[in-house]
Chains A and B, each alone.
Chain A
Amino acid sequence: MEKDQVFMGEGLNRAAAVQAGWNSCSFEMEMETDELNCVGSCFLNPKWHNSMDQSDPFESALSSMVCSPAASNAGSTNFPASGDNTMMTDLIGKLGNICNTGDISPQSLIKPPNNNNNCNSNTSCYTSPLDSPPKLNLSMMGGNQILKHPSLVPVSADPGFAERACRFSCFNGLNAQLGVTDAEFVQLTRVSTNQSIMVTGSQVHVPDSNKNTLQDGNSCSDKRNSRLSRCSSPENGDSKDESSISEQIPGVGSSIKAQNDANARKRKSMPRGKAKETPSPAAADAKIAEENDESTAKRSKQQNDSAKAENKENPKPPEPPKDYIHVRARRGQATDSHSLAERVRREKISERMKFLQDLVPGCNKVTGKALMLDEIINYVQSLQRQVEFLSMKLATVNPRMNANTEALLSKDMFRSRGSLPHSHYPMDSSALAFGLRYQPQQGLPMNNGISNDTQIQFSMNPANAALHKTQGLQLPPVDGISDANPQIGSFWDDDLQSIVQMGFGQNQPQSCQSKHS
């Protein structure tokens, strides 16, 4: 550790750069931040150990990354490809010093207060897209060179470097995600007693030099990248790793925030994985292993805190393309799966409530779920009573059923119906297009029926907008709009006559079809 401490000062920048560079897929700023964070945390974060375990390739890549910047040290912004352990140790030492000294960069100081609150709830892992840019700025230390993503992209060719970098970096964010400073900070601040992650300006300088060296660690990072999947950003396409990464993360796009989000999520899962991975890749570097052990021991404490979240998050991040709905915790909210599921459910319910609000007349002014439900209940009750009343009325009315009556009845029925399908089947785009007109496809009544059925099925999700739009157009007055579409009635006259005369012949669609055809 002494060596580490010695190295800390020097290696901090390098470490940051290394991380940034190593990440190939991650943004510079992310890397830097993460790097420093990781380094700081690695010493103190017990989680490191576990995370290292899982991320063997990670470690190698990272260590190689770390090494390379260390190698290229000497204040030069360009890190030679060679990463060696000594450099690594220097870097580590420096980072350790930084951590021990408790230096806290202003950014880190800024961040932790916000994040600490969230740390416990692991919200830091999830950063809303809007949050990422500011975070990045912070991590960037006021927009230093960190932004040179392209330069950082190349991963140091030194596998050992990457390995070490992995070890030392906070795997929380390092998984090529290095993006989310918040999470990093949170984790780090929690982990490190000194809260010393200093993503200071020194860190900022790292990127340039580190980037070049980081490319060496591509081989190592490749494995990591596969794990990181979502972490990498397309910007890192420079290196082969990047390309692989970008493939894995097609959706991330170049947005930092996306990366941050992914990073945040990944980061959560990474620490544990990294901790596990640490030991294995550490084999190559005994020295690093020692440090890792120390950091791992410290990390274990941290890990427990976020274990829950990680456990729940772990399965999710590595497999984005799965078929389930990905939910992200909002900033400032809990991220455990129960809360997320709860939130999803609440959103579903409110969505349906809105839909019902459109359906039930006079509900626009009502706010609040309870009142809305009361309104809905009243409306359903009134409808049911209306049905009863009408059936009673029909029972008392003397229907003189003859051909004319039936025809008239049917015609009127269908005629009035014409004005209403709009409201009842809002999902029918044709109905929308033609206003109140309804245009079944001729010769395809069955298809219409099928399509209609699907429409009727009230799939709330997709057609809500259309539905709301349609609903807004009416609830048409229940009382007859019989004259709305006389044309329809006339058109249907023949059909209805045939239907009626057939005694509501067996297959209406067929009869209609026959008429249509």
Chain B
Amino acid sequence: MDSQHLNPSSLKSRFTARFLRALIKINAQKPISSSSPREIFQRYRRIKVAADKSMAYSVRSRRTWSRATLWKLRSRSRRLLASSGRRSSIKTRTTTTTTATTTSTNHRAAIVEKTSHEKENKEDHVGLAVQAEELRELVPGGESMDLCNLLDETAHYIKCLTTQVQVMKKIANLYSLE
């Protein structure tokens, strides 16, 4: 055996570990064999969230898109918790939801303002506003970045996405083999 070692701290390994953990947890919650489409859909959603979350966590907060993804996920979970918390009073729920909503709204507003301002200043000469806009929608957290940083984030995001896809493919293959 060669001394070929995989870097245990590589992005891929981190993501794999996390994702597998989450996957195992999800699968442990409900048996798959007797799942209805609805349950399958729910599981799908959870797995997707787990995948995104795992990847974002693997990247930590070094990247804007990872921060945005984590923020989105957390706010969503907060909202879900708030909405599903039966014990919490309506006020609390509303407050929490409002808070979450307000936060998100403010965040979005700030982002949009900044984005528009930046876009005005910086993209006039390039003429790629349309594509840049599309890219911003695709890349999480891309609304508040100028083209230069957006491309940077896109590159990293693409890299992480490819990693994610590869790992998930492997896992799916393994699962299907078993």
Contact = CB atoms under 8 A, between A and B. Distances in A.
Interface of A: 342, 345-346, 348-349, 352-353, 355-356, 359-360, 369-370, 373-374, 376-377, 379-381, 383-384, 386-388, 390-401, 405-406, 408-410, 412-414, 416-418, 420-421, 424-425, 428, 434, 437-440, 442, 445-446, 448-450, 452-453, 456-458, 460, 475, 478-480, 482, 485, 487-488, 490-492, 495, 499, 503-504, 508-509, 511-513, 516
B9 A449 contact: yes
Given A380-B158, A388-B48, A397-B172, A369 B10 contact: no
Nearest to B164: A387
A192 B169 CA distance: 75
Contact of A373 (B62, B132, B139, B168): B132
Interface residues of B, number: 73
A381 B138 contact: yes
Instruction: Give the dominant DSSP class at B's interface.
Output: helix
Contacts of B100: none
Contacts of B162: 383, 424, 475, 478
Nearest to A380: B138
Interface string B10-36: 111110110011011001100011000
B174 A445 contact: no
A448 B9 contact: yes
Contacts of B7: 421, 425, 428, 438, 440, 448-449, 452
B8 A376 contact: no
A356 to B, nearest CB: 5
Interface string B141-178: 00000011001101111110111111111111111101
B142 to A, nearest CB: 10
18 contacts: A346-B125, A359-B155, A387-B48, A387-B51, A387-B161, A398-B33, A399-B27, A421-B7, A438-B4, A440-B9, A445-B8, A453-B62, A456-B156, A458-B155, A460-B155, A478-B162, A492-B5, A509-B9
Given A359-B159, A416-B166, A491 B171 contact: no
Contacts of A397: 32, 172, 175-176
Given A424-B159, A439-B5, A487-B2, A413 B16 contact: yes
Interface string B122-141: 10011110011011001100
Closest 10 CB pairs of A and B: A449-B9, A373-B131, A395-B44, A352-B151, A390-B168, A383-B161, A512-B8, A395-B43, A391-B48, A397-B175
A442 B5 contact: yes
A412 B174 contact: yes
Contacts of A503: 21, 24
B4 A487 contact: yes
Given A395-B41, A399-B23, A491-B1, 17 more contacts: A342-B125, A352-B152, A355-B155, A370-B131, A376-B135, A377-B135, A390-B51, A391-B168, A394-B23, A394-B168, A396-B32, A399-B178, A409-B175, A413-B170, A416-B166, A420-B166, A421-B12
A504 B17 contact: yes
Interface string B52-67: 1000000100100000
Contacts of A513: 8
